[in-house]
């Protein structure tokens, strides 16, 4: 986002936490269920028994409010919509202008070449 000239407002969700209405609004805007937004890796989801398909949306939301790390991220809100931007290049759809290339992911994988062509 910054490479495209956008300055995001970053919410430290681990510090600030979530409210149930915030999560419901974000998930609805992004077209996600709580199950789809559940972070499993490097979270206590398995230890809390949340990976079981029998756990309903309400219980997942309660757990996400109690343990903010359970929400997969980043969730990006823009005038073009809300998305869970994983993989990170998903954010490109939310930008008004693409950043200049080349553009690399955090792991070094090239997303856009030096000519601004997005790579599949």
* One pLDDT digit (tens) per residue for the chain, 120 residues: 888 888 888 888 989 999 999 999 999 999 999 999 999 999 999 999 999 999 999 999 999 999 999 999 989 998 899 999 888 888 888 888 888 889 988 888 999 999 988 886
- Whole-number Å distance between alpha carbons of 58 and 91: 28
Report the pLDDT value the prediction gives residue 58, as an integer from 0 to 100. 98
If you write DSSP's letter for every residue of 24-63 in order, what string do you get?
Answer: HHHHHHHT--HHHHB--TTSSTTTTTTTSTTS-HHHHHHH
Q: How far is CA 10 from CA 40, 71, 107, in A?
A: 22, 15, 21
Instruction: Check if the beta carbon of residue 102 is closer than 8 Å to that of residue 113.
Output: yes
Using CA atoms, how far apart are residues 92 and 56, in angstroms rounded to an integer?
A: 32
> In whole angstroms, what is the distance from residue 55 CA to residue 114 CA?
46
- pLDDT of res. 2: 85
In this prediction, residue 72 carries a pLDDT of 95
CATH number of 2-90: 3.40.30.10
pLDDT for position 105: 87
Confidence (pLDDT) at 119: 87
What pLDDT, on a 0 to 100 scale, did the predictor assign at position 4? 86
Q: Could you give the CA distance from residue 101 to residue 114 in angstroms, rounded to a whole number?
A: 4
pTM, two decimals, is 0.83
Q: How far apart are CA 111 and CA 118, in angstroms?
A: 6
Looking at residue 9, what is its pLDDT? 83
Q: What is the pLDDT of residue 24?
A: 97
């Amino acid at each position: 986002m910054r490479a495209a000239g956008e300055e995001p407002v970053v919410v430290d969700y681990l510090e600030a936490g979530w409210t149930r209405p915030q999560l419901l609004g974000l998930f609805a805007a992004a077209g996600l269920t709580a199950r789809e937004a559940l972070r499993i890796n490097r979270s206590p989801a398995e230890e809390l028994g949340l990976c079981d398909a029998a756990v309903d949306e309400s219980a997942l939301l309660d757990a996400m409010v109690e343990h903010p790390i359970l929400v997969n991220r980043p969730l990006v809100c823009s005038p073009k919509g809300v998305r869970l931007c994983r993989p990170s290049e998903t954010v490109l759809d939310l930008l008004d202008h693409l950043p200049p290339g080349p553009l690399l992911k955090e792991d070094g994988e090239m997303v856009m070449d030096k000519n601004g062509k997005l790579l599949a």
